[in-house]
């Protein structure tokens, strides 16, 4: 398949995309776990239908590219189907391969922005800072029309800037500078990988991560990483995604972190992508080995929370937890954060119905397919309201933005926060500023 990975790292080992698609026996076991199938009832919008389309594409038998484009573009890449599939079919990776084949090289403009973020981060921050200033001054329309947003032509970033409730005055890098929980890499118990969401849109999450892990794990060190390349991987050019991955790995290798010390990322979408870096380099043994060494050190920040040390917060009202899709399906790591959150939930922790269903955020999905996304968001907010929780925890920036938007419309009594914010708050109420051993 042109412009694709060609080979995939699956649960069953390395497979060609065709072999992986052929693993689908069309049993239909995954159908009810797929939010887009449940919402539409359309076979083409199911994992089975999408796998069949990719297989036809690989066999050169696709006769309706427009329908295939619609079916593949409406996939949330949530991975719920992969989690329940008895044949371990990697449907999200196959959907991405199909999309790449249909659209060719991807968005050149997006890649230009990704390159700008990687090669000239200070300039990028300056431009973003002005966009946020426009927003804070109430000039949201001007922000949307500013040179930066025009240059980006990224519905997701443009909408995020306009949608994120509080345009932050400072980036996470600025907020974290000089914090007492952080120090030199050579003495660190964990390294901080700053995903773009917490870094540019929600620095409060990065500060909470520093406070929480600083108290429970020990001093950390900021890696000063560039963007992980996920946007290029999903919507742009694989070459740019690989360039981003190489830059991240080089930064990690030169960081001076002691052997075995984990790298924590506090956005589940980025953490899952960092862990999947080896798949980008299957045809390049030297870089594959470096990517594997790096990926083995990556943790979703919530995976580092020692549940037994998280104090109870008696002031916290009833809590529920929305599992970010990349945490649940990409990393398979809901148990550790759930245990930590139950430890602190003074008002109790209610389980969410249909927790495996995506909230409809899914990166650009909310803005590319607003109607379908809106339906999923409404269902998610109804499920949250059914629990009567007043706080919902979610570990991905995209989920937080989507849930904040949905809750303000459908269930304003509840607010969405990152688990690290809850842990930092619980610690602060107990007056625990430092590692409690
Ligand atoms: S993706 Fe898996 S669960 Fe779904 S139809 Fe194919 S084999 Fe069955
Ligand atoms: S990744 Fe999600 S939306 Fe896409 S086919 Fe699988 S379950 Fe459906």
SS (H, E, C) the chain: CCCCCCEEEECCEEEEHHHHHHCCCCCCCCHHHCHHHHHHCCHHHCHHHHHHHHHHHHCCCCCCHHHHHHHHHCCCCCCHHHHHCCCCCCHHHHHHHHHHHHHCCCCHHHHHHHHHHHHCHHHHHHHHHHHHHHHHCCCHHHHHHCHHHHHHCCHHHHHHHHHCCCCCCCCHHHHHCCCCCECCHHHCCEEEECCHHHHHHCHHHHHHHHHHHHHHCCCEEECCCCCCCHHHHHHCCHHHHHHHHHHHHHHHHCCCCCCCCCEEECCHHHHHHHHCHHHHHCCCHHHHHHHHHHHCCEEEHHHHCCHHHCCCECCCCCEEECCCHHHHHHCCCCHHHHHHHHHHECCCEECCCCCCCCCCCCCCHHHHCHHHHHHHHHHHHHHHHHHCCCEEECCCHHHHHHHHHHHHHHCCCCEEECHHHHHHHHHHHCCCCCCCC
Q: What distance in angstroms lies between residue 41's CA and the mean position of ligand 2's atoms?
A: 13
pLDDT tens digits for range 137-161: 665 555 555 545 545 545 555 555 5
pLDDT tens digits for range 374-433: 999 999 999 999 999 999 999 999 899 999 999 999 999 999 999 999 999 999 998 876
pLDDT band at 122 (very low <50, low <70, confident <90, very high): confident
Q: Which residue, by CA, sits nearest to atom 8 of ligand 1?
A: 27
Give, for ligand 1, the residue of 32, 78, 81 to mutate: max count of ligand atoms closer than 8 Å to Cβ. 81
Q: Can you name the residues that pair with 94 across neighbouring β-strands?
A: none
Which atom of ligand 2 lies closest to the CA of 33?
7
Ligand 1 neighbours (beta carbon < 6 A): 24-30, 47-48, 51, 81, 85, 87, 89, 91
Ligand nearest to the CA of 39: 2
Torsion 70-325-58-237 (CA) sign: positive
Question: What's the whole-number mean pLDDT along residues 99-117?
Answer: 70
pLDDT over 50 at 69, yes or no: yes
pLDDT over 60 at 362, yes or no: yes
Least confidently predicted of 52-66, 122-136, 323-337, 343-357: 122-136
Structure tokens at 371: 């109607």
Rounded Cα–Cα distance for residues 228 and 214 (Å): 23
Q: Which residue, by CA, sits nearest to atom 8 of ligand 2?
A: 34
pLDDT band at 45 (very low <50, low <70, confident <90, very high): very high
Q: What distance in angstroms lies between residue 101's CA and the mean position of ligand 2's atoms?
A: 19
Give, for ligand 1, the residue of 28, 79, 90, 356 to mutate: max count of ligand atoms closer than 8 Å to Cβ. 28
Ligand 2 neighbours (beta carbon < 6 A): 33-36, 47, 50, 75-81, 91-92
Structure tokens at 127: 């431009």
pLDDT over 60 at 15, yes or no: yes
Q: What distance in angstroms lies between residue 336's CA and the mean position of ligand 1's atoms?
A: 28
pLDDT over 80 at 323, yes or no: yes
* Residues sharing a CB contact under 8 Å with residue 126, sequence separation 6 or more, in sequence order: none
Q: Which residue, by CA, sits nearest to atom 7 of ligand 2?
A: 34
pLDDT tens digits for range 204-257: 999 999 999 999 999 999 999 999 998 888 877 888 899 999 999 999 999 999
* Residues sharing a CB contact under 8 Å with residue 365, sequence separation 6 or more, in sequence order: 76, 372, 373
Ligand nearest to the CA of 80: 2
Ligand nearest to the CA of 51: 1
* Residues sharing a CB contact under 8 Å with residue 160, sequence separation 6 or more, in sequence order: 201, 401
pLDDT band at 285 (very low <50, low <70, confident <90, very high): very high
pLDDT over 50 at 46, yes or no: yes
Q: Which residue, by CA, sits nearest to atom 2 of ligand 1?
A: 85
User: Quick one: pLDDT at residue 220?
Assistant: 97
Q: What distance in angstroms lies between residue 72's CA and the mean position of ligand 2's atoms?
A: 10
Give, for ligand 2, the residue of 44, 70, 77, 375 to mutate: max count of ligand atoms closer than 8 Å to Cβ. 77
User: Quick one: pLDDT at residue 110?
Assistant: 63
* Residues sharing a CB contact under 8 Å with residue 148, sequence separation 6 or more, in sequence order: 127, 128, 130, 131
Q: Which residue, by CA, sits nearest to atom 5 of ligand 2?
A: 47
User: Quick one: pLDDT at residue 437?
Assistant: 41
pLDDT tens digits for range 301-314: 999 999 999 999 99
Q: Which residue, by CA, sits nearest to atom 7 of ligand 1?
A: 24
**Which one is predicted more confidently, 19 or 135?**
19
pLDDT band at 107 (very low <50, low <70, confident <90, very high): low
Q: Which residue, by CA, sits nearest to atom 4 of ligand 1?
A: 30
Ligand nearest to the CA of 37: 2
Which atom of ligand 1 lies closest to the CA of 88?
2
What value does the mean pLDDT of the chain take?
Answer: 86
CB 262 within 8 A of CB 295: no
Domains of the chain: 7-103 (1.10.1060.10), 307-429 (3.40.50)
pTM: 0.88
**Which one is predicted more confidently, 115 or 413?**
413
Which atom of ligand 2 lies closest to the CA of 95?
4
pLDDT band at 266 (very low <50, low <70, confident <90, very high): very high
Question: What's the whole-number mean pLDDT along residues 153-177?
Answer: 70
Ligand nearest to the CA of 376: 2
For 192, 337, 380, 391, 403, the CA distances from 322, given in Å and listed in that order, are 23, 11, 9, 10, 9
Give, for ligand 1, the residue of 21, 36, 47 to mutate: max count of ligand atoms closer than 8 Å to Cβ. 47
User: Quick one: pLDDT at residue 416?
Assistant: 96
Which atom of ligand 1 lies closest to the CA of 26?
5
Q: What distance in angstroms lies between residue 78's CA and the mean position of ligand 2's atoms?
A: 5
User: Quick one: pLDDT at residue 436?
Assistant: 44
Rounded Cα–Cα distance for residues 316 and 318 (Å): 7
Rg (CA), the chain: 21
User: Quick one: pLDDT at residue 150?
Assistant: 46
Rounded to the nearest 10 degrees, the angle between the axes of helix 419-429 and helix 335-344 is 30
């Amino acid at each position: 398949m042109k412009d694709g990975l060609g080979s995939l790292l699956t649960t069953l080992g390395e497979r060609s995309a065709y072999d992986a698609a052929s693993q689908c026996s069309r049993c239909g076991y995954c159908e009810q776990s797929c939010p887009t199938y449940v919402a539409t009832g359309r076979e083409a919008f199911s994992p089975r239908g999408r796998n069949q389309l990719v297989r036809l594409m690989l066999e050169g038998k696709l006769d309706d590219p427009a329908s295939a484009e619609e079916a593949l573009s409406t996939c949330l890449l949530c991975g719920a189907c992969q989690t329940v599939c008895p044949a371990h079919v990697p449907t999200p990776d196959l959907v991405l391969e199909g999309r790449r084949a249909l659209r060719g090289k991807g968005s050149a403009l997006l890649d230009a922005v990704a390159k700008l973020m990687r090669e000239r981060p200070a300039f990028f921050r300056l431009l973003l800072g002005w966009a946020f200033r426009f927003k804070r001054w109430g000039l949201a329309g001007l922000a949307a029309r500013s040179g930066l947003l025009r240059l980006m032509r990224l519905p997701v970033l443009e909408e995020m800037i306009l949608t994120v409730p509080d345009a932050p005055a400072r980036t996470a890098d600025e907020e974290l500078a000089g914090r007492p929980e952080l120090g030199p890499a050579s003495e660190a118990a964990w390294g901080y990988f700053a995903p773009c969401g917490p870094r540019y849109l929600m620095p409060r999450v990065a500060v909470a991560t520093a406070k929480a892990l600083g108290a429970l794990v020990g001093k950390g060190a900021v890696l000063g990483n560039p963007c992980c390349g996920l946007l290029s991987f999903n919507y742009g050019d694989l070459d740019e995604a690989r360039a981003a991955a190489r830059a991240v790995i080089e930064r990690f290798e030169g960081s001076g972190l002691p052997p075995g010390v984990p790298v924590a990322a506090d956005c589940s979408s980025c953490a899952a992508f960092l862990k999947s870096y080896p798949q980008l380099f299957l045809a390049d043994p030297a870089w594959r080995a470096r990517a594997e060494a790096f990926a083995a050190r990556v943790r979703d920040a919530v995976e580092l929370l020692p549940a037994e040390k998280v104090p109870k917060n008696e002031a916290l009202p009833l809590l529920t937890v929305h599992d970010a899709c990349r945490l649940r399906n990409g990393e398979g790591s809901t148990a550790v954060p759930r245990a930590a959150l139950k430890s602190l939930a003074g008002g109790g922790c209610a389980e969410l119905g249909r927790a495996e269903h995506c909230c409809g955020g899914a990166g650009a999905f909310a803005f590319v397919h607003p109607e379908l996304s809106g339906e999923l968001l409404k269902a998610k907010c109804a499920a949250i309201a059914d629990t009567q929780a007043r706080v919902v925890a979610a570990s991905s920036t995209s989920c937080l933005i989507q849930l904040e938007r949905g809750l303000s419309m459908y269930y304003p009594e509840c607010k969405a926060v990152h688990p690290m914010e809850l842990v930092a708050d619980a610690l602060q109420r107990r007056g625990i500023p430092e590692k409690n051993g």
